[in-house]
Structure 1
Amino acid sequence: MARLRYISYSPHRCSVNTDHIVWTSVTTREGIEGLPQIIWQDSMPWREANLWAMQRATEREVCIDTVRSNMTSILMYANWLEQSKTDWWYFPVKKADRCLVRFRGHLIVQRDSGLIAPSTATQRMRDVINFYRWLRANGFLTSDWPLWKEKFVSINFTNAVGFDRTIAVQTTDLAIKNRKLNIEKLEDGLIPVSAEDRDKILEFARDNASWETYLFLMLGFYTGMRIGTLSDLKVETLRRAVPDPQSRDLYKIAIGPGARPSVKTKFGVTGFAWITKPHLELILIYVDSQQRQDRVSKAKEQNKNLVFLTRHGNPYTTGNTEKSSALNVEMHNLRKKSKATGNNFLEGFYFHRSRATFATQLAILLVPIAGVVNALAIIKDALLHKDEATSLRYIKFIERTPAKAKIANEFSRVFLSILSEGRSDDE
């Protein structure tokens, strides 16, 4: 499968001197740290896509995090191209056989089966279309017929002072509408897994995944920290963990821009994350292990203090993104191994769901003991939510779940009794 790599880009200018080319560093332009680049399965770069990312980042059209997000969509497209053995320039006369049309159908199938969110399908298709607009505008792709049909959609809205306004938005017939699925989701559109599946996932990861992946999952399930926060954890952060005054087996670690050392969090919220004593001790054992020291030896000086590094000595995430290509590859391989053994508890599971699972299990424990009001405050602090509305979703979720289970059981009982009565009448 294709991979997304992040490089340190330094602007250079080339000149031809007689029989050789000379590259000269351009000191008047700033470099870019963490520029996303796509590498095909055969280790060759996708030059057109990489040039698109470089141009947008260097010309400051958008921020680098937006470029990374767009390139994640292009990565998904590249993986589909390789799996379907399709060329990105394949646009035959028959519309149904064109690469973009087929990829659109692939996204719709994934959306309808619940593998990706409707908003994700919409965004991926939009990013791919924007990439093809750039390809045509810069002469990298020519076609004897239109790649899609352009159209304009009018959007009505009311501004801040109450006036009605209408704006025209350019779109195409390949765009995917953002139709939300009728599935109950929590923070960031996540769905938790059951405690039973959580234990199965951790046990399977312990035996079949790398030590780092297992620790990532363990911390995700039992601390609720996001991938961006876990990837930015410092060794000093763990060593400065303080025991909770009310429980000797529970520790708190400071995270956020206000912590020392600072640890990245979403929206820049500063606070404390909970971690149990056994989990903290296990992470500290890993910190001092030879396996981690081998990775530290390959890392740049500014990254040596990170708890988690890839086997090449790089951080798992770059910038403020919540996505990690290295961890995504690990999770993909873990799901394949699980499927090969006939297990389905990893089907459709992604790392981000570990956070929703932690919050849900925390709410299940707290509400009967502390009540809704106190549970709401504790959940908000434990997950560093910026507002209580997000925390309240978890409480409402666990309150509705038993009612739904009771209704389902009652429906099944009535339905089965009707079936049994029907069989008796037939006899």
Structure 2
Amino acid sequence: MARLEYIRYQPHRPEIVGNSVQWVSDAAVRAVERLPQIFWADGQPWNEANLWALEMSRSRDVKAKTVQSLMEHLHKYAKWLVDEQIDWRHFPKNKAERVLIRYRGFLIDSRDRGGLSPSTTTARMRAVIRFYRFSSGHNFISHEAPKWQDRVAVVRYFDSVGFERTLQRITTDISIPNRARPGVRLEDGLLPITAEHMQDLLRYTTEHVSEELHLMLLIGFFTGARLGTITSMKVPALENALRDPGVPGMWVVPVGPGTGISTKFDVSGDLLIPDELMRLMKAYSTSARHLDRVIKADKSNKACLFLTRFGNPFKPAAVNREMVDLRRQGICAGLKFLLRFHFHQTRATYGTWLMSISIGVGNVKAAIEFVRRAMHHRHESTTFRYITFIEHTKAKIEVASAFTLAFFGVSKSVRPRNEKY
């Protein structure tokens, strides 16, 4: 199976010393921290993909997170190549047998079964196409290889003074449009889970997953924090937390820029943590299990609440790997709802619950503002989706109930033709 690893890349240059060539560190070129690299099952590097990552990392116009995201998508592609036992340069005359056509079909099937969100499906195919454009431009594959057909898409718009303008962009016939699934959905196209399923899940994770993953799920369900925020939690932030004067039984932990705790779009705010959850988090931070990991950690990481057994900070990718095992084992244990469960659904579940309570005790405007602050939404429109979802769900339940009553009323008065009176 293909592996994705992160290295520290230190540039070197050749120097002639006597009759030999030696490679020495090149201080004129900046090093690259956490450069993603893909290796095949036999330990050989995927040189073409790794060079792509290096060239992107050297560009100051490309963010490190972008490079990591693209390589994570390409790593999934590499794993698929290994599973299918097919070469990434396989482009025969038969279109159905071409590697990109087959991978496109695999992604669409995964999306339609609910295994991938529409946005992830689109992003994964786009990353693969970008890599092939790079490979073709560097002659790693033949320019004549029938990879895809480029198409010119024309986008018309009006500028600020009312003149119609057009933009042209190149697309391909193998791109996958980002088409959302029908129905009202919340952030990242996910839905909340029921309270019963949440309780079943947490009862199961108490005994069958790592203590870290169980605590992360608790934080997700009862604070609505994103996974990136949870994995960057710091122990000093818990020690310095203050009780919320306006909400009894709640603690306030600042998050965002300057706190060391990451948030999406660098939004600043406060994380509301229930009293019992705060007690569990502090108990874990002083446990022998956590302190053993702190001993192994570098000085810069000792303040992290969540560390791996090697003393490294948890990354979302590591949590997602544990989630794969949780889904597989939980389904075998009878938790069938885990088939399509994603960690981010903890946030959708919390947001739906919080909005339902807030609407019940106050007006809609105050509820939106409270939930927006609690969930650190950058835009109010994101928060408003929760109201739309709640109202839409209530409407569906009422319609279903009315339809059932009407159906029973009709069924009593209408008998099948072959039924004897």
Same fold (TM over 0.5): yes
**For the structure 1 residues 269 and 14, does the alpha-carbon distance in structure 2 shift closer, same or farther, using more than 3 Å as the test?**
same
Give me the whole-angstrom Cα distance separating, in 2, the residues matched to 1:15 and 1:409.
80
Q: Distance in 2 between matches of 1:100 and 1:89?
A: 9
Aligned to 1:87: 87
Deviation at 1:136, TM superposition (A): 2.0
Hey, what does 2:244 align to over in structure 1?
244
For 2:377, give the aligned amino acid. H
CA offsets 1:108-146 (integer angstroms, 9 cap, x no match): 112223332323222211110110111122232237642
In structure 2, the residue matched to 1:283 is: 281
Q: CA deviation at 1:62?
A: 1.7
Alpha-carbon separation, structure 1, partners of 2:294 and 2:22: 34
Describe the SS at the equivalent of 1:311: coil
| Equivalent AA in structure 1 for residue 387 of structure 2 | I
- Distance in 2, matches of 1:23 and 1:70, equals 30
Give the Cα separation in 2 of the matches to 1:325 and 1:3. 12
Partner Cα distance (1:103, 1:19) in 2 = 50
Partners of 2:350 and 2:31 in 1: how far apart?
39
Matches within 5 A, 1:56-75: 56-75=56-75
Residue 373 of structure 1 corresponds to 365
- Tell me the distance in 2 between the aligned counterparts of 1:123 and 1:425: 55
Give the C-alpha shift of residue 219 in structure 1: 0.4
> Partner residue of 1:164?
164
Q: 2:77 maps to which residue?
A: 77
1:264 aligned partner = 262
Unaligned runs of 5+ in 1: 318-323
The alpha carbon displacement at 1:387 in A equals 3.1
Change (3 A) 1:265 1:348: same
Q: Which residue matches 1:127?
A: 127
Change (3 A) 1:168 1:389: closer
CA contact (8 A) 2:5 2:36 kept: yes
Does 2:397 match 1:405?
Answer: yes
Which aligned pairs between 1:18-417 and structure 2 lie closer than 5 A?
22-41=22-41, 43-142=43-142, 145-258=145-258, 261-317=259-315, 324-415=316-407
Q: 1:308 to 1:41 in 2, by over 3 A?
A: farther
CA distance in 2, matches of 1:345, 1:16: 64
- CA 1:163 to 1:117, structure 2 compared with 1: closer, same or farther past 3 Å? farther
How far does the alpha carbon of each residue in 1:229-262 deviate from its partner, in whole angstroms, 9 at most, with x for none?
112111100111111224552211111114xx43
Alpha-carbon offset, residue 222 of structure 1: 0.5
Segments of structure 2 that go 5 or more residues without pairing to the other structure are: none
Tell me: CA distance 1:420–1:287, structure 2 relative to 1, closer, same or farther (3 Å): same
What is the one-letter code of the residue matched to 1:132?
Y
8 A contact 2:16–2:22 mirrored in 1: yes
SS at match of 1:342: coil
Q: CA RMSD in A?
A: 2.3
The 3-state SS of whatever aligns with 1:347 is helix
AA in 2 matched with 1:335: R
Q: Per the alignment, do residues 274 and 95 of structure 1 end up closer, same or farther by CA in structure 2, a change over 3 Å counting? A: same
